[in-house]
Amino acid sequence: MNAPRTHNVHNPRQNAAEQQQEDKAVSQPRWANKDGAAQHIGVSTYTIDRLAKAGRITAHRLGRLVRYDLNELDAMLTSQETV
């Protein structure tokens, strides 16, 4: 019995759709509380407070809750590494 052949054909539409889906997933916020944000970047919660007070990261208020976007924290770290 012959197994069905799979072709490695370049399909620009499919690749563009996959890229858009990946871009959309990256751009959606990933929320964390102060403890989670601090653990994510390896600092203390006091440092998260100082970064927010200095305007280097945004503390988002969702009702009574305060949340931090992990994508924003990753971007901040990446920009610091390139400086």
DSSP string of 15-82, one letter each residue: HHHHHHHHHHHHHS--EE-HHHHHHHHT--HHHHHHHHHTTSS--EEETTEEEEEHHHHHHHHHHHHH
Asked whether residue 73 is domain-assigned, the answer is yes
Asked whether residue 12 is domain-assigned, the answer is no
Asked whether residue 40 is domain-assigned, the answer is yes
pTM beyond 0.75: the answer is no
Asked whether residue 8 is domain-assigned, the answer is no
Asked whether residue 2 is domain-assigned, the answer is no
Number of structural domains the chain divides into? 1
Give residue 18's pLDDT: 65
Asked whether residue 82 is domain-assigned, the answer is yes
Convert the pLDDT of each residue in 33-82 to its tens digit: 999 999 999 999 999 999 999 999 999 998 999 999 999 999 999 887 66
Convert the pLDDT of each residue in 12-45 to its tens digit: 566 666 665 665 555 788 999 999 999 999 999 9
Asked whether residue 56 is domain-assigned, the answer is yes
| Distances, alpha carbon 30 to alpha carbons 12, 41, 80, in Å | 29, 14, 20
Asked whether residue 74 is domain-assigned, the answer is yes
Domain of 57 in residue numbering reads as: 35-83
